[in-house]
Each structure stands twice: as C-alpha cells, then as structure tokens.
Chain A
C-alpha cells in the first residue's frame, strides 16, 4: 500500500516536472495554447498507432502521436503563412478538426479495439503503477516512471544544451536570427519536445489536464521572479508541490487524481496571485491606497504652502475650508488631515492647520517636480 502511494506520487512528480520545463518557454513565448492544440490533435495519431500496436505504452505509439503533434504545429504555421487566418484562429481551426478525425476513427472501429476514450482524455493516474516494468524477472517499478523519466531527461538535456539559444530566441527572436541562432529550428525543437511530453503525460493525466501541468507552474513562477533560471527551478518545484498536494487531496476525498492536481494548480496560482510581494493582488491594492493618501496629503501641503504667510492664510487653513477649496468630502478631508498629522507634515491648533518644516519640504519637492 505504501509502495503504491510512493509510486503514484513519483509518477506525478516526474510528469509535472517534465511538463513544467518546456512550459516555461511556452508561457514566455506566448504559445501556451499550442500545448492545448497539440494535446488534442495527437488523438488521431494515438488511435492509428494503437490500431497497429494494440498497446497504449509502446514507443511506436509515442512516436506516432508526437509526429501528429509536430504536424499540428506545421499546419498552424502554414495556415498563418497564408495571411488569411490569424494565429489564434489557425489554432482554433486545426486541433478540433484533427481531434474530430480521431473521435470518428474511435467510434467507427470501437468494436474492434479496446481503446477507452476517457483514458485518453482524462487519464487515470491510479492505474499507472499497475503496469510494471520487468527486467529479467525483477520488478523495477512502474513503466510510467521510466517513460516520463526519459522524457524529463530529454527535456532537461535540451534546455541545458541550448539554454543560451532558447533564452535569446525567446526574448529577442530577431537578434537571435541575426546572430545565426536559427530561431525556427529552436521553435520546432521546442515544439517536438512539447509533443513528446504531451504524449507521454496523457497516459497519466489525460490530454486536457496536460495543459494545467504545462501552463500552471510556469505562470505561477512568472508571478514570482524575473530570472529565467530561477523561473525554471521554481516551476519544477511548484509543479512537484501541486502534484503531491493534488495526490493527497484526491486520496482524502477519493476523487480523480489528475483533476485534483489541476485543482491544486489553480489554488496555488490563486494564492501566489494574491499574496506574492510587489506584484500580488494584495500588494497592488495596498500600493494603490497608499498612493491615494500620499497624493491627497501632497495636495493638502501644497494648498497650505501656497497661502502660507499671506493675508488670507487664516481662512484658507481652516479644516472646514478644504471642502470648498479642494472639493473634498468633509469626512475624506478629516481623514487626509489625520494622515498628514500622523506623518507630521502639518500641525493642528483648534481648526487651524499649519505646515511643519517637513510638510514645507514635501510641498516644495512636489512643486519642483
């Protein structure tokens, strides 16, 4: 039983990391939806290869499906190159058509082969450890771990080998082209990796949730960091955390593991979105309120500064007068005065406001700027 827990989590982690690494580049290159397209469009490839091999984990099947994935990318590019169809529409046309062919193939020949539609689309991680690899009669672990492990290694090697090229092609494609780095080649290399990864992962998590693994952790990491290397590391870590947390969520409530991992992905993304310093929703909201009060305070000190030492100063420095002059709501004016008092920019005697030395400096600075 413990072995099974470990096996499933191991598969989930390896799959999540394998998906997150190329996902980083997809997110940065604004091509996330290509993974969605590929994961759907490989269906006819899977079906045809399955007719030939009658097994869902044969290497031939992975190759055929990955080939279909690359073909999808080529189709989308060709459609775009006619300049008659925009990129999003090209994607939106290609993958449903290929997917439809796959569905029709399955239902036409469903009687002859055993290919469970749900398994392809939704995957079932719980069954993955049952398919084990035997070497000379020794049970060395689930096949999925080896399949996804190989793919992970492949992704890692590609990224490490072509790190510089990938980085440049991602952030400045034209410079990469000028320097002779062949961004098109990098593009197709990356797309091939995404295809292979998607095919490998669909067995475990299904084709729709692959997108959650590919887009979720990198986008979450993108909220946290500006550095590519850190983003890659963080994506791998976040992917693993999502996988393990998702597994236990699924175990606790006895629900679909892949679905639970996707749910955790959304949850973690939401939490980071809310709480990350500087760029998070809460940080943004706090900065906006602070800016609002700062601005109101500056208005107040400038107003006082303008009339300081003049005959009308006494009337202008009344708290009640602010309503008329700055068009502030009396309640708001009172709050601003309180804020300015706290910052020691003004001092108050009865209803009269006077600038402090500090308030005067603030006003002068604001006016000079």
Chain B
C-alpha cells in the first residue's frame, strides 16, 4: 500500500516535471542526471560515513546538478553537440562513481547491495518516511514551478522571445534543471538510475498526444505517471519475482503506445481515418468535376 502511494506520487512528480524536458527536447537529460548522481552518493558516504537516505540524496543531487552544468557549459563553449556532451558526462561520471564505489567496497564498511539499488531501485523497500520525503520535496518542486509558470512556459516555447523581454534565460534554465534533478533524485530509490529517464519521458509523451495545452498536458502527465506507478506496483506484487521498477516503466510504455495509437486528432488511428475520409471526399469531388466537364 505504502509502495503504491509512493510510486504514484513519484510518477505524478516526474510526469509533471518531465513535461518540460520532453517539450525542450531534453528527454535524455534525465538519463544523464540519474547516472551522474552515482559519484555524489559515493562521496556523500565517504565524507559523512552515514547511510541516511537524506544525505545520500543530497550528494546525488549535487553530483547530478554538477553534471548538468558541465553538459550545458560544454555545449555553450565548444562545438561539441548536446548529445555527445550528454554521453560523455553520463558515462564518465558513472565510471568515476564506480571507482569510488569499489574503493568503498574495498574498505569494507558498506554493504554490497548499494550499487544494485542505485541501478534498479528497490521499490519494495519504500517506507512511510520515504513517501513523506517524496511528497514534501516533490511538492516544493511543483510549487516553485507554479510560481515561475509564466517564465518557464515562455522559456520552453520561445526562448529567443523570452531573452528579448529581458528574462534571465540562464538562471531560468538552471532553475528548470534543478527541479528536474530533484524529481530524478527522488526516483532513484524506487526505480533506479537506468529506468528513471523513462519515468520522466513516458508520461509526458503520452500526455502530449491528447492535448496542445501545456497545463492540460502537465495534469495528464501527472495522472499517467501516477497510473503507471500504481499499475506497476500492483502487477509486480501479484506475482513472485517481478521487480517493481521495470514493471512501472513497462506500464508507462503501454500508456504511451495506447496514446500514440488512439489519441483523438493526433493519434495514428485517427490520422488513418482522416486520410481515408479525405481520399473519399476527393474522389467524390473528382467525380463531380468530371461530370460537370462532360455536360
């Protein structure tokens, strides 16, 4: 029960904030941030020697944030494109985290399960206190987003115009990234680094198919995220040895597939019908023209 609530909350938060990432074509930033968080966790542990989730989460957030900042500076200062910058930071930060992790393991004061948890999450171990953390931090992130609603919306849809109005583009960019970092770090424990990117992308992509309005899309994404969270938890608890994180991701993917095919107006089925109707209309029109020519 607690797990389902936690997963639902998480899905809602990441769905909401993922909307921006998808619209800005930065869907894979989540993937990068979640991988880049690993050295942060290791350093937080090395420095404090404690395994309190909050401290480790803080370390993860700092590292993820730093990684994103690196990516943005590489893109700004060199001719290396966004995708390569993302790939380099993602993999090398992760590699550095791995080095630190083996260092910790060698000193022998950490349990071996740490890395697996980081990679795949352990939704089953979500406690009431974790749900509270997700709720509070996620809530704060969403409130901040609502406060800057107008500015962020402009940044997403017309960055040049926003800059010409004198809005601090780089500060807003960093703000948006920081919100994303919060959402990702919250999700690490439940679904893990590898699958966190899907939690950001899938609900937003599904929601995009149903509407052209940002506010509606965000609400839908939150709903889809929560749905996937609950659905995945229920399915994985109904059979033995089905891990929760991947099941949640597959649920979200199913929602995307459903939306892409069936959504009105944009959906594939809808498109097909419209195409056939147009074809029929054209044929009829052509027939009429032909007749009028004969007369």
Interface, chain A (partner B; CB < 8 A): 27, 30-33, 35-36, 40, 79, 82, 84-89, 91-93, 96-97, 99-101, 103-104, 107-108, 110, 117-118, 121-122, 208-212, 214-216, 218-219, 222-223, 250, 253-256, 258-263, 265-266, 269, 273, 279, 281, 284
Contacts and interface: CB of A to CB of B under 8 A. Distances in A.
A210 B115 CA distance: 18
Interface string B96-126: 1111111100100000000110011000000
Given A92-B27, A99-B195, A263 B96 contact: yes
A259 B83 contact: no
Nearest to B200: A92
Contacts of A258: 95, 98
Contacts of A97: 198, 249-250, 253
Contacts of A254: 102, 106
Contacts of B267: 84
Nearest to B74: A273
Contacts of A82: 260, 268
Contact of A269 (B81, B88, B90, B94): B88
Contacts of B119: 121
B87 interface: yes
Interface in B44-80: 74, 77-80
Decide if the interface of chain A is mainly helix, strand, loop or mixed. Answer: helix
Nearest to A79: B260
Contacts of A211: 87, 90-91
B25 interface: yes
B95 A261 contact: yes
Given A93-B198, A256-B98, A107 B242 contact: yes
Provide the main secondary structure of the chain B interface. Answer: helix
B78 A273 contact: yes
Contacts of A223: 78, 80
Given A85-B205, A259-B96, A262-B95, 18 more contacts: A30-B83, A32-B83, A36-B87, A40-B194, A100-B195, A100-B249, A101-B250, A118-B115, A121-B194, A209-B91, A209-B95, A222-B80, A256-B101, A259-B98, A259-B102, A261-B95, A262-B96, A273-B78
A228 B142 CA distance: 46
B229 interface: no
Interface in B239-295: 241-243, 245-247, 249-250, 253, 256, 260, 266-268
Contacts of A88: 25-28
A201 B279 CA distance: 51
